[in-house]
Amino acid sequence: MGKSNKAKREKKADFTKVKLKVGKKLPKGQNLTDTSFKSKKIVIGNQLKKQDNETPVTKKKLSLKELLSHLQHFSVYVRQDGLNGLRELLTVHPELVVPSLGQILPALAGLLVDEDYQLRTDTVKLVTEINEQVTEAQIAPFFPALVTHLTCAMTHIRAAVQQSSLPFLATLLRRFPALLSASVDLLLPTLLEQISRSGGGGGARALLADPGSKLSAASWRVTVLKQLAQLLSAQPAGGGGRSAGPTRSVPVAAFCPVYRRTAAAEEAPLLAPPTGQQRRLLSEPDSWREYCDGLTQVLFQAYAEVAPDADKDGAYSLGCWGSLLSDEAAETLAAVLQVLVEILRQMRHLDATKNTTLVARFTETYCPDLRRHVFASFPFSRLVGRRKKSVPSASSSSAGPSAPPELGSDVINALVCELAASLAEDETTAHFRHSVLDYLTAYLESDRSGELDRVCRLLASLLCPAAGSGTDGDLERQLACVRAASERHQRLHPAGQGQELTHLLATLVTEPRYDRLARSEEVEDWAVRLLPSLRPGDGGSTPELLNLLRRMAAMGRHRFVSALRAQAADLLGAAAAAQGDAQWQRGVVELLFWPTDVAPDAKAAFAAFLGSEGVNEAVKRYAEEVLQEKYGQGTPVVAAA
C-alpha cells in the first residue's frame, strides 16, 4: 500500500528550502538562544539603615571579642595578626579602651611570656599606648593582674623573656608610679634575682656568671640597676602609698550596696595577700637592712668587674690618669651610685620614724668599700669625643628610656657628692665631705651648668653646721663654697639657673640651723650684690627674693643696710616703673623700711614714687604710712604727697 498524501506533504515540508526575498529581514533560527530577561526590585525594610548597636570591626571584619580570642591561638602568626588587629581597632575606635579595659589588659599581659620576641615587643608598645589613654583610677582594678604577669616574665626560665619584661616595667613605672609602689616588696627582690644569685650562708650574694647568657653582660646589669633606682626613687620615704596588707573591717549599714566606701581608701588594696604572708620591705628595718646588705654586695661586684685596675693605694687608674673612666665603667658607676643614694634615703626615714641606726651601720660597714671604689678616685673624669658609634642591642634599646650618648663626668661626680651627703656624719666620712666641698667649690667657680640644680640642693645639706666636725677647716670650706656661689649668682641671669642659687641663699638666711653662715661676711656680700639686679618683671626678682633680702635687713647687718640705703633711690625708681605690679612695689617699700636714715636722693625718689600714676593706690597709702613712721612728720616727701 503506498504512502498517503499527508505523509508526503509533511516530508516535503521538512526539507523545503526557504526562499529569501529582497528587502525582507532574515527569520530567526529555531535554535537561537533568547537572552532577554525581566527583573523586579525587592525592597526590604531597614536594609540600608545603620544600627546604633553595631559592633566596631577592623578592615578584616573582626570584632574585639574575636581579636582577643586570636591572642590565645596556638599559632604565632594568628596571635600576631590578632595583636595588629587590636591595635588597629583601638586606634580607630579609642572609645573602646576604657569600657573594655578589663578584657584587653589581661589578654595583653599574658603575651609578656610569649616565645616570639616581636610579639612581646609589640605588646609592650600597645600597652604603653593604652596607658596614655586611661587614668590611674581606671586602671587600678586591673593593676594587680598586670604586676602578676610582669613578675612571671621577670622570673621566666628564658633569658629573652626576662629581657623583654623590663620595658613593660618601665612603662608602668613612668605612668603609674603610685600604683606600682603597692608591689614594691615583690618587685625589688625580683630585680635583684635578675642579676645575682644567693651565695653561701649569711645572706651573701654573687653576680650571675654565665659567659653564654646575656643576663651576665654588664649592659644588662646597668639596665636592671637603672630600673631598680627608678623604682626606689618613685617610693615615698618609708614605702608609703597603697598598702599591700590586709583590708580593714569597716562598719556598714544593712542596706549597703555591692561596693562600699572606706575611710582610708588609699590603704585598702583591691587584691590583698592572705594575712600573715605580706612582707613590708620598706617599712620593716630588719627586712630592709637584710635586702640592702645583699644588694650592696652586688653593686660593688658589678662595678669592680668594669672598673679600671686598682693600684696599690686602692685607687683605680687608667694610664696616667687616676680617675679616668671608660664608657662602660661610667654607666655602671652612675647606676650604682643612684641605687646607693636611694637606699640611704629610705634608711634615713626609718632612722627618723623607727628610732633605728641603719645609716650609721651602713656607713660603718661599707665605708672601706666606698673609699676604695668611689672616694679614692674622686673626682672622676671621662674621655671626651672618643666614643665609637654602635648599634644598640635589643636588650638595651627595649628597656625603657636609653642612656644619653655621652655620660658626662659632672653627672657622676654630682652623684658622688649626693652619696657623701647621705652618709652618717662621723670622723670616717669627714674626709669624704671635705673632698666633696672642694669639688663643689671648684664647680661653682667654673662655668659648667649641667648639674647646677643638683649642686645647689646638695649645698643646702653640706653647708649645715652638723655636716662637719665643727673645726675651723670645715667652716673655711663652707665659706669658700658660699663665696663661689655668690660669684656664680652674680654671673648668671636671675631668671635662669640663678633661681636655684636664690633658693640656696634663702635657705641660708631664713633657716636657724644656718645661723653661723647667715651672719658671715660671705652671705652678707652675696645679698649686697643682689640689690642692683632687683628689677620688676625679672624672673629672678620674685617675692621670695625680696623676702629674704628683707630678712637680711631685719638681722641688722650693717654693710647690707648701708648698701640698701645707697640703693634706695634706684629701687624706688624701678618700683615706680613697675606698671601694675603691686606686689613687687609693696615688697620694695617693705625692704626700704629698715634703713634708719634716708639719703637726699631717696627723698626725691619717694616723692616721685608717690606721685607716679603707675603705682597702685593701696601701695601709695602704705608707703606714706611707712614714711611717716620712719622719717617723721613734715618731711618734704609728705608735703609733696
pLDDT tens digits, one per residue of 536-549:
665 555 667 777 78
Residue 317: per-residue pLDDT: 46
Residue 398: per-residue pLDDT: 42
Residue 447: per-residue pLDDT: 83
CA distance 484 to 440: 9
Asked if 578 contacts 536 with a C-beta cutoff of 8 angstroms, the reply is yes
Residue matched to cell numbers 602609698: 241
Mean of the per-residue pLDDT values for the chain?
A: 78
The secondary structure of 14-82 as a DSSP string is HTPPPPP-TTSPPPPPTT-------------TTSSPPPTTPPP--TT---HHHHHHHTT-SSHHHHHHH
Asked if 609 contacts 576 with a C-beta cutoff of 8 angstroms, the reply is yes
Asked if 227 contacts 314 with a C-beta cutoff of 8 angstroms, the reply is no
Whether the predicted pLDDT of 316 surpasses 60 = no
Higher pLDDT, 7 or 402: 7
The band of 558, judged by pLDDT with boundaries at 50, 70 and 90, is: confident
Beta bridge partners of 310: 316
Dump pLDDT digits (tens) for 83-111: 999 999 999 999 999 999 999 999 999 99
| Three-state secondary structure readout of 107-140 | HHHHHHHCCCHHHHHHHHHHHHHHHCCCCHHHHH
How far, in Å, are 415, 482, 518, 546 from residue 525 at the CA level?
A: 30, 10, 11, 16
Whether the predicted pLDDT of 120 surpasses 60 = yes
Against a cut of 0.85, is the pTM above it? no
| CA 389 to chain centroid | 27
The band of 494, judged by pLDDT with boundaries at 50, 70 and 90, is: low
Q: Is 490 exposed, middle or buried (0-12, 13-18, 19+ CB in 10 A)?
A: middle
The band of 521, judged by pLDDT with boundaries at 50, 70 and 90, is: confident
Residue 267: per-residue pLDDT: 42
How far, in Å, are 17, 173, 252, 265, 493 from residue 268 at the CA level?
A: 107, 21, 15, 5, 49
How far, in Å, are 87, 355, 387, 419 from residue 442 at the CA level?
A: 53, 37, 27, 18
CA distance 153 to 84: 22
Dump pLDDT digits (tens) for 261-275: 444 444 434 444 443
Residue 485: per-residue pLDDT: 85
CATH topology of domain 57-175: Leucine-rich Repeat Variant (1.25.10)
Query: Comparing 80-89, 335-344, 629-638, which segment has the lowest mean pLDDT?
Result: 629-638
Q: Is 275 exposed, middle or buried (0-12, 13-18, 19+ CB in 10 A)?
A: exposed
Residue 241: per-residue pLDDT: 43
Outline which parts of the chain fall under CATH 1.25.10.10: 57-175
CA distance 584 to 590: 10
CA distance 208 to 373: 20
Q: Which of 336, 429, 334, 424 is nearest to 380 (CA)?
A: 334
The band of 482, judged by pLDDT with boundaries at 50, 70 and 90, is: confident
Asked if 180 contacts 191 with a C-beta cutoff of 8 angstroms, the reply is no
Residue 316 sits at φ, ψ, to 5 deg, of -80, 140
184: which 3 cell numbers? Answer: 614594691
Whether the predicted pLDDT of 468 surpasses 80 = no
